[in-house]
Amino acid sequence: MSNNSVKSNNYLIDKNKFYKIKANIIGNSLIHISGFNKDYVEYNICVKTIYGKWTFKRTYNEFYKLNNKLVHKVPEIKDLFPPKRFFKNSENTIKERTKYFNNYFKYLFDKVNIFSFEDIINFFYIEKGIIGLIIKKYNMLKIGEENYI
């Protein structure tokens, strides 16, 4: 294991590489479905790279599905994911989840080689063109350039 490696696990990135991808929650909306008592929260997410910026919305359930796919491959994220709550749409729960999600994003983009997880790429709407540019810029050709360019 080299000194620059976080761990020998192939999903972690080199400590010296910084891909300049950031994501954070910039707001939320409580959605009410009349007659069904199925209110839910949509979290507004902003992703920024050196090549562009975009926003989109995701629900807790969508985060939960992503986490279930990743936690077996990246066990470190287990404690970063917000727990389920009985009062899931309370102001305190929404604030708590926002904090958890922002820490979750930070870990994914600072520590995990996201390019080896199609689920992450799809969840954050990272376009193949942007991935190709990042792979070329940071000389990440061993990651699978043929899949993303």
Q: pLDDT tens digit string along 31-75? A: 877 666 678 899 999 999 888 899 999 999 999 999 999 999 999
| DSSP symbols for 111-139 | HB-GGG-HHHHHHTT--HHHHHHHHHHTT
60, 67 contact by CB (below 8 A):
no
What pLDDT sits at residue 34? Answer: 66
Angle at 127 between CA 99 and CA 7, to 5 degrees: 60
Residue 141 banded pLDDT, cuts 50, 70, 90: low
Specify the pTM.
0.77
pLDDT digits (tens, 9 = 90+) for 110-133: 888 888 889 999 999 888 888 777
Question: What does DSSP say about strands 52-59 and 22-31: parallel, antiparallel, or unpaired?
Answer: unpaired
pLDDT grade for 99, boundaries at 50, 70 and 90: very high
